[in-house]
Amino acid sequence: MSNDTPISVLLVDDEPTLREPLAEYLTGQGFAVTEAQSAAAARSALASAAPDIALLDIMMPGEDGLSLCRHLVETRKLPVIFLTARSEPTDRIVGLELGADDYVVKPFEPRELVARIRTVLRRVARGPSPDAEAEDWLYEFEGWQLDPLKRKLCDPEGVTVPVSTAEFRLLRAFLDRPRAVLDRDQLLDMVQGRTAHLFDRAVDNQVSRLRRKIEADTRNPQFIQTVRGGGYRFAADVRRKVPDRPQ
């Protein structure tokens, strides 16, 4: 993807009142937009166009966005961002399970949507990270469990310990590279994701928050250890386990 060819976007929403101004706005931002008012229209548009990314409304008459998403991910390996009116986390999980890359909740800030489109495309361009294939496993360390899909951390007694998005990403970065020394820049790079602005605070601050949640004694941490000379290391064995998730 070079800078001179515009990024082409497939925009699928049954509401012309939203679709039209959004297409206009995205065009204004330098995207090449193909509009479709239904899943069927989107499928036929795909015959002639080869978009870089799809923005899908979930609730549409006829075939809904979830079904279209499955089709796009399976046949075209197309990055997908959902535009959803609902903010229930179950919708998010369903969407991400189907292979969508991100979602925004209506009414969204148009600038944020543009930022997310760029983030997703940047990530796709970096090539599939080993984790992006399927997130269908659990991390286990010293009895703790982290479910990457549900973003759920459970302590050895099975009690859920709520973590923020930033904490989740940070912990996951550690769990992907146990016992490796990670400096602050690396951590910042790895945890910067869909919503980079969430992670503009110092890494140290996030590390200390995470420690408060998982360490028995934060002054003498057993898991996330500070390495002299800058950086942190996750000092426990991590296993990956396939969960028995109901299909």
Partner 1 sequence: MSRFLPKSLLGQTLFAIGVALLTTQLISATLLYRAAESRLEANLLNRTALALLVDPEARELRRRIEIEAAGQAMGPIRGPWRRIRTRISATPPIMRGEANMTGRAEQLASILESQGLRPVAVQLTERRAGDDPAMQARADRNTRFAARPGWADERLIVAGIQLEQGGPWRITRVSMLQREPRVIGGIIIQTAVLFIVLMTVLFFFLRRITQPLARLTDRMSDFSKRPDYSVTLEESGPADTRRLIAAHNVMETRIAALLDEKDVMLGAIGHDLKTPLAALRVRIESVPDDVQRLRMADSIEDITATLDDILTLARVGRSHHAWEDVDLGALAGSIVDEFEDLGRPVTMTGSARVVASVQVTWMKRALRNLVSNAVRYGDSAEVVVLMEAGQAILRVDDHGPGIPSDRISDMMEPFTRGEASRNRATGGAGLGLTLARAIAQQHGGELALKTRDEGGLRAEIRIPLAK
Positions in the binding site for partner 1 (CB under 8 A): 15, 17-18, 21-22, 25, 59, 83, 85-90, 106-111, 152, 155, 157-164, 167, 201, 209, 212-213
d(CA 19, CA 153): 38
Nearer to partner 1, 123 or 211 (CB): 211
Query: Could you give the CA distance from residue 246 to residue 117 in angstroms, rounded to a whole number?
Result: 31
Q: What is the nearest approach in angstroms of partner 1 to the Cβ of residue 209?
A: 6
**Measured from the CB atom, is 71 or 209 closer to partner 1?**
209
Nearer to partner 1, 85 or 227 (CB): 85
Cβ at position 229, least distance to partner 1 in Å: 28
Between 131 and 142, CB nearer to partner 1: 142
CA distance linking residue 98 with residue 169, whole number of Å: 20
Closest distance of CB 207 from partner 1, Å: 13
Tokens of 71: 């089709």
CB 10 within 8 A of CB 46: yes
Measured from the CB atom, is 4 or 157 closer to partner 1? 157
Return the structure tokens found at 105: 């909740």
In angstroms, the CA 164 to CA 58 distance is 25
Task: Report in angstroms how near the CB of residue 1 gets to partner 1 at its nearest.
Answer: 24
How crowded is the C-beta side of 203, counted as CA atoms within 13 Å? 21
Instruction: Between 158 and 229, name the residue whose CB sits nearer to partner 1.
Output: 158
Contact 146, 172 (CB under 8 A): yes
Structural tokens at position 180? 């490796």
Task: Show Cβ contacts of residue 169 under 8 Å, excluding neighbours closer than 6 positions.
Answer: 190, 191, 193, 199
Q: Where are the beta strands (DSSP E) in 119-184?
A: 138-141, 144-147, 152-154, 181-182
Nearer to partner 1, 75 or 87 (CB): 87
CA gap 133, 149 in Å, rounded: 12
